[in-house]
Structure formats: structure tokens, C-alpha cells
Amino acid sequence: MAKFMDVHSGFHGVTPAELDAAHEADLKIEGEEGVHFERAWLDPEQGKVFCLSTGPSKEAVQRVHEKAGHPVTEIYELTAEA
């Protein structure tokens, strides 16, 4: 399993409740792709959402986000952490 950070842009003004709903939508279907979304963080002023996940591939992470209705194009494989 690899670890990933994906970054969504343009989410200005998103509320905490909307973030929760989006994260729940991911959690509901992530098992189909062997992915787990550990955490999501929101900066509504700059419109960014960061999602930390584990999974078999970037493509699997992308498929979950796409099926959940919030596709992402910016995704990073995290090979080290400190």
C-alpha cells in the first residue's frame, strides 16, 4: 500500500459540514478500490482541500474521488514522512 496526498482547488466557501459530507461520500465507496481516506483538511478562503489516503495506486484514489463526485487531478505519492 502506498500513501497519497491529493489537493482539490476551487473549493472557496465550502463549509465544515460540506467537507464532512464529501469525506463521508469517499468513505462509503473507498473499499471498492482498496483505498482508505485517513483525513481531509479545508482552507475555504483559498479554496483548497487536502486529502491524505492509503491505497494501491493514484488511479484508485482518483477513481474513488471521481465516483464520489469530486474528481481530483493533483495527487502526490508520499514515499517518506517525518
Residue 3 binds its own copies, judged by CB under 8 A:
yes
Among 39, 66, 71, 73, binds its own copies (CB under 8 A): 39
Smallest gap from residue 72 Cβ to its own copies (A): 14
- Kindly compute the dihedral angle of the four CA atoms of residues 67, 18, 21, 9, in this order, to the nearest 10 degrees: 30
CB-facing half-sphere around the CA of 79: CA atoms within 13 A? 0
Say whether 17 sits in a helix, a strand or coil.
Answer: helix
Residue 19 binds its own copies, judged by CB under 8 A:
yes
Q: List alpha helices for 6-74, DSSP H.
A: 16-29, 58-67
Smallest gap from residue 59 Cβ to its own copies (A): 15
Residues near its own copies (CB under 8 A) are: 3, 5, 7, 15-16, 19-20, 22-24, 39-46, 48, 50, 52, 76-82
